[in-house]
Amino acid sequence: MTASVVPHLANDQGVEKIFVGVRELNCMGARPPFDHPHVYLDMGDDGQILCPYCSTLYRYRADLGPAETDPPGGGQGLAWADAARMLKDHFGPGTLLLATSQSGTNIGVLASPLKTMLVNKTNQTLVVAVNGVHVTLNPYRVMLIDTPPMIGPGPTPTPPPPVGDTTGPVVTITNPRNDSRVAVGTTITIRADVTDNVGVSVVNFFINDALVCSDTDLGYKCDWPVPPAKGAVYTIRVQAIDLADNRTNRTITVTGR
């Protein structure tokens, strides 16, 4: 299953069980900032699974769509849905906004001369520069700010990669070791050394092909809550993307103990 259809779900209502339309999900207990570590859960053929952190029971129901839950509201408030609401409240209908060049996989940016809307699409705290002013975005947050004035000539744009650059990043997974055993119910830090001849754009971390983290800072890492199933085998894949969109993947396997 691809990362785009693995939702982050919350149990703000404190119900005993939530029916969902997917078999794979990330449970975060409550919405940020009161969330517990986002736990990847895979029902497999069982049709239900219990979150080891908050004891919420998730049950699969085929009549529900990927973004639907019963009771309603179990899904994380989607950043772009919040953005649409804030656009209506603050700009009024018909206002033309453009997604800026800073928009990407991790951060969405909508800007006008008066207001700028920032959307953190990840479960990591990120920092984005708006006209030279650095703004910190908590996980899955939507922020509306006054557009800062340009400072001097504006921020120096990132130089384009050399024409014809086809050299992908060099990736080494330094933790955990391949074929190692990891303690279930704990959170381990996946670490990777990544270098590139031009520059690294982003490093993505996958567990069994489900995206769990994205990091843009040197010392690339991802905190992964290990599911409770002992003996389960997990494939950890680290994908590095450079400024020319060259991609390198490295994989290891670990077993829950």
* Count of domains for the chain: 3
pLDDT value for 155: 55
Helix (H, G, I), strand (E, B) or coil at 91: helix
In terms of domains, do 54 and 118 share one? no
Q: Of 21, 42, 70, which residue is a domain's last?
A: 70
pLDDT of residue 16: 86
Task: Look at residue 76 in the predicted model and tell me its pLDDT.
Answer: 45
- The per-residue pLDDT for 86 is 55
Summarize pLDDT for 68-118 with one digit per residue, the tens: 888 876 654 444 445 555 555 655 555 444 444 444 556 777 766 777 777
E-only strand ranges, 46-183: 48-50, 57-60, 69-70, 98-99, 107-111, 115-120, 126-130, 133-137, 142-146, 170-175, 180-182
Tell me the HSE value of 32 on the side-chain side, using a 13 A CA sphere: 19
**pLDDT, position 3:** 37
| Residue 151 within a domain | no
Last residue of a domain, one of 37, 70, 103: 70
pLDDT confidence of residue 129: 77
Q: What is the pLDDT at residue 100?
A: 44
pLDDT tens for 133-152 read 888 878 767 777 888 776 55
With tokens 């769990």, the residue in question is 212
One domain for residues 241 and 221: yes
| 64 in any annotated domain | yes
Task: Out of 93, 112, 146, pick the residue that ends a domain.
Answer: 146
Please indicate, yes or no, whether residues 181 and 132 belong to a single structural domain of this protein: no
Residue segments in the chain with a per-residue pLDDT below the cut of 50: 1-4, 76-81, 95-103
154 in a structural domain? no
Q: Which pLDDT score is estimated for 232? A: 93
Pairing of the two strands 180-182 and 247-256: parallel
Smallest CA-to-CA distance from 28 within 64, 58, 4, 2 is with 58
| CATH number (domain holding residue 60) | 2.60.260.40
* Rounded CA separation 85/64 (Å): 24
* One domain, residues 62 and 136: no
What does pTM read for this prediction?
Answer: 0.41
CB atoms inside a 10 Å sphere around CB 11: 24
- Do both 92 and 30 map to the same domain? no
240: β partners:
203, 248
Residue 161 lies in a domain: no
Same-domain status, 109 and 175 = no
Domain presence at residue 11: yes
Indicate whether 165 belongs to any domain: no
Domain of 225 in residue numbering reads as: 170-256
CA-to-CA distance for 213 and 187, rounded, in angstroms? 13
Residues 28 and 83 in one domain: no
Per the domain annotation, does 141 fall within a domain? yes
Per-residue confidence (pLDDT) for residue 65, from 0 to 100: 81
Compute CA distances 134 → 3, 82, 99, 121, 155, whole Å.
Answer: 28, 22, 18, 17, 11
User: CA–CA separation, 61 vs 168, rounded Å?
Assistant: 42
Report the pLDDT value the prediction gives residue 170, as an integer from 0 to 100.
94
Q: Which helix (H) or strand (E) holds 224?
A: strand 221-225
**The predicted structure's pLDDT at residue 81:** 47
